[in-house]
Amino acid sequence: MNMEPDYNKYSNQELLEALESIDEIKYFDRAKNIMLLYLKSEQIKVDELRDRYKVGEVSALSDVMTFPISLYGNDKEMSEKIHYILQNM
């Protein structure tokens, strides 16, 4: 039985909540899937975001989003999570 949620049905806010709560190392494939779905819905290209992170813009994703990257107030932790996912895609 597949226990993975159907992230295709998630709103953008739900995708960010899922990304924020997931262990990106233990569940890397899920975290990557969530990230890709979010970026697709926001029409953000992965390469563009990855390039911005390479030059040290840890707030790169928050610059293109309509709400904070962390729904619970820890933008630095979420930025590091996103950076990890981007670097390992």
For the segment 8-32, what is each residue's pLDDT rounded down to a tens digit? 999 988 998 899 899 999 999 999 9
Residues of the chain with pLDDT under 50: none
Which tokens belong to 40?
A: 């697709």
What local confidence, expressed as pLDDT, does residue 68 receive? 57
d(CA 16, CA 42): 12
Residue 58 · residue 28 · CB < 8 Å: no
pTM: 0.79
